[in-house]
Structure 1
Amino acid sequence: MDDDITFISHLVELRSRLIRALLVLFLGFLPCAFFARELYSFLAFPLLEKLPQGGQMIATEVVTPFFIPMKVALMVAFLITLPHTLYQLWAFVAPGLYSHEKRLFLPLVFISSLLFFTGMAFAYFAVLPLVFEFIVYFAPEGVAVMTDISEYLGFVLSMFLAFGITFEVPVFVLILIRTGLVSIEKMKSVRRFVLVGAFVIGAIFTPPDVMSQILLAVPLYLLYELGIILAALSMKSSSRKSPLPVTQNRHNDTGENE
């Protein structure tokens, strides 16, 4: 009976946190919706800058000139309110975490958010201009490059997602090592496979030009190496603070909770 009450209380708490996150998202969406056209123009700038004189984008459906800028506004609102959403996530899971997990969780949330935004910025300022320059340059003579705004949004979002996840690699590596699933030595021994895999991923998730593939593969591998370095530094810092291994600390935390 107590377990049922606890489970229901968790569901009520989760519902409350979701409502708060959605409410703040809606409040953030309102001003973004007012500037929806400007936000889409900013998003489309990497392509518009590379189009020939008089080039423009098109809308092939009746409602896309309205809905596509609104989608961009919603995306921007989500990014702006992401810190609050992550805080709600933290507030929900924090009571169930051990003390050493709490110390690790908040920095990882902050770092992962910062890395994801950095990956998006890298895609916008470095990758997209090169990709669109390549596409426009190799367009056959007599072919006007006029991309549909809906197709453009889907392409840009996929690039943002690919580079955002790529920049999360140090966090993934750090978690794998700190949780003991993989050792640092094992991570170092598979470097050559990671390098090959980085270029394979670059070939899959980027347009078919060498430059954009390199711009994804090289950061992916370098971030993998950064993750190993950060994990090594984190392990050294933990060993200096406490002579007990992580598993022993977990037992101690369990005892405190009991």
Structure 2
Amino acid sequence: MAEGNSERDSRPVSDGGVSPESDTFSGAPDDEEMPLTEHIREMIQRLLVVLFVMGAVSAVMFIIPNPSRPFADQAVEFLWYSFLDVGGNDPSACVNSPQEAVACPRVYHPLGLILTRLKVASLAGFIVALPVFVYETYLFMRPGLYPKERRYYLASVPTSLVLALVGVAFAYFLVLPIIFSYFLYYSQDVATIAFGLQETFDMILLMMGLFAAVFQIPLFIMLAIMMGLVTRRWLEQRRLLFWASFGGVAFLFSPDPTGMAPVLVAVTMIGLFESTLLLLRWTGR
């Protein structure tokens, strides 16, 4: 057996690590020394692939009609009337009696509608690009991975897409309805409510995209532990640092000045982190 493979197999097995007896490593035959410039060039190329896929999917959503209007237009209308009650969620209410339908979309910028369509299309591209990003990182790291690690990484590609869709559904069915209900309760007694199309969709799309990324947390924890980079015990000992990081990310990317949205994001991130550790403890890994 190759010397490098013996070193990998002889590493101590700690809580959450990979037991060498459970599988046989056949080595990393493609591993070789490369100049730093080659690594950077390859990394940029793979990032461009991810951006190309994201741009292509976004372009399809923004341009291709289905059957007479682009997907993005239909998505804008669907999302708006999903969260805001406009004459019993009847889109024609905004055309027939806009004064009575308080939650009708209002555009305060000449390019507001076009930019909103573009952002909706970009969200679809972002979700599709997430598993592509995971796969491209796998191709980038593949020469240095052992066969078992390669299997773990490849299995994470479809898992990434599933988790992204679960994150979007979580935001759509639970988080966003709570946020909009809170907004209405928070403002209705002191101000006349008017919803700007672009501003409202900035929050809707950011929340959906953020939760698509947040729900990747269990995947990355599992990958890191299965590949022997960390252990469950190591993560548990530093959980307060992770909690603080989650809170910082939640408040940094949230557009909600009332504080409701970042709290929900932070609680979700901590919940995913702790539930993953609990699952690992329960399974004995």
SS, match of residue 44 in structure 1 = helix
Query: Is 1:227 equivalent to 2:256 in the alignment?
Result: no
Note if contact 2:123-2:205 (Cα within 8 Å) is conserved in structure 1: no
In 1, Cα distance between the equivalents of 2:43 and 2:221?
A: 31
TM-score (norm 2): 0.61
Counterpart of 2:60 (choices 14, 28, 31) is 31
In 1, Cα distance between the equivalents of 2:238 and 2:40?
A: 41
- Amino-acid identity (%): 26
SS, match of residue 195 in structure 2 = coil
Note if contact 2:54-2:129 (Cα within 8 Å) is conserved in structure 1: yes
Q: Structure 2: 5+ residue runs without aligned partners?
A: 1-32, 63-69, 89-99
Q: Structure 1's 141 and 12: CA in aligned 2 closer, same or farther, altered over 3 A? A: closer
**Higher relative CO (CA 8 A, sep ≥ 6), structure 1 or 2?**
2
Q: Structure 1's 223 and 203: CA in aligned 2 closer, same or farther, altered over 3 A? A: closer
Aligned residue identity for 1:228: L
Q: 1:152-189: CA deviations, max 9, x gaps?
A: 22222332344334433323443554466654345446
Counterpart of 2:162 (choices 103, 114, 123) is 114
The residue correspondences of 1:1-258 to structure 2 (distance < 5 A) are 7-8=37-38, 11=41, 15=45, 17=46, 20-33=49-62, 34-49=70-85, 53-55=100-102, 56-141=104-189, 143-175=191-223, 177-178=225-226, 183-188=231-236, 193=240, 204=251, 205=254, 208=258, 215-216=264-265, 219-232=268-281, 236=285
Note if contact 1:120-1:163 (Cα within 8 Å) is conserved in structure 2: yes
Offset at 1:62? Answer: 0.8
Q: Which runs of 4+ in 1 moved over 6 A?
A: none
SS, match of residue 187 in structure 2 = coil
Q: Structure 1's 101 and 32: CA in aligned 2 closer, same or farther, altered over 3 A? A: same
Moved more, 176-185 or 139-148: 176-185
In 1, Cα distance between the equivalents of 2:282 and 2:136?
A: 29
In 1, Cα distance between the equivalents of 2:75 and 2:207?
A: 17
In 1, Cα distance between the equivalents of 2:39 and 2:250?
A: 47
Q: Considering fraction of residues, name the structure with more helix.
A: 1
Q: Hey, what does 1:240 align to over in structure 2?
A: none
Q: Structure 1's 18 and 207: CA in aligned 2 closer, same or farther, altered over 3 A? A: closer
Offset at 1:82? Answer: 4.2
Aligned residue pairs: how many? 231
Aligned residue identity for 2:142: A
Q: Structure 1's 79 and 184: CA in aligned 2 closer, same or farther, altered over 3 A? A: closer
Aligned residue identity for 2:83: L
In 2, Cα distance between the equivalents of 1:188 and 1:119?
A: 24
Q: Structure 1: 5+ residue runs without aligned partners?
A: 237-258
